[in-house]
Each structure stands twice: as structure tokens, then as C-alpha cells.
Amino acid sequence: MALVVVALALGALVEAGSAHVRNVAWMGDRVLAHWVALNKAAELHAGRSWPRPGHSNGTTELADRRWRWAMKVENTSDETVRRVEITVHREEDDRDASPLERLTLFLGKP
């Protein structure tokens, strides 16, 4: 009976350990995706250009990995401000998958 209890406990520990490893990897991906989004936002600020409303997308490399980003620029009720939403996926993710990161910012007209 004691052997059964030990076997069940070890199985639970292995499952908890593997879940922890998956969560750590997922959080690492989220952090990198956030950095990709912040880099795209910094490019907008540094470029000092006034982005046109619409959609754009592309890929970028960070930490020896490829990331897919998409950007949606919209007008706001204030003519001197535009709303920008940047989403980031791993390049290997399905196109329909939820983004790892979604960053929204508002840009003032330069």
C-alpha cells in the first residue's frame, strides 16, 4: 500500500514539474513578444512620422527567433492623435491563434 501512495505522489510531482516548465517557457515567450511590440512602438516614436490609418504587418527577429507582428492605426476623435494597436505572435503559431502580446498606444501628430 505504501508503494502505491509513493507512486501516486511521484506521478503528481512529475506532472507539477512539467506544468511549471511549460509555464516558464510561455512567460518567456510573452516577455519577448512584449519587447517586440515595444520595439515597434519605439520605431514609430523615433521615426517622427505620422502613420496613416490602416493595417500593416511583418516579421522581426529577437532572441534568435522570428516573430510576426501586426499593426492597426486608427483615427481618434482628436485629429492630432492616432490610436495604434500592435499584436505579436510567434512565427510558427497559427494565424488564428490569440496573440502573445497586444499593445495599444496613442501617437500625437509630430
Q: What is the CATH number of the domain that holds 80?
A: 3.30.1300.30
Helices (DSSP H) in 48-82: which residue ranges?
none
- pTM here? 0.80
User: Long-range contact list for 52-55, CB < 8 A, 24+ apart?
Assistant: 53/82
Q: From the CA atom positions of the chain, what is the Rg in Å? A: 21
pLDDT at 30: 94
pLDDT at 94: 83
pLDDT at 17: 65
Provide the 8-state DSSP code for 99: P
For the segment 86-106, the average pLDDT, to the nearest whole number, is 92
Range of the domain at 61: 2-108
Q: How far is the C-alpha of 47 from the C-alpha of 45, rounded, in Å?
A: 6
pLDDT at 22: 72
Task: Report how many domains make up the chain.
Answer: 1
pLDDT single digits (tens) 33-91 = 999 999 999 999 898 788 999 999 999 999 999 999 999 999 999 999 999 999 999 98
Phi, then psi, of 17 in degrees rounded to 5: -65, -40
Nearest 5°: CA angle at 14, between 10 and 20? 145
Contact 106, 85 (CB under 8 A): no
pLDDT at 50: 86
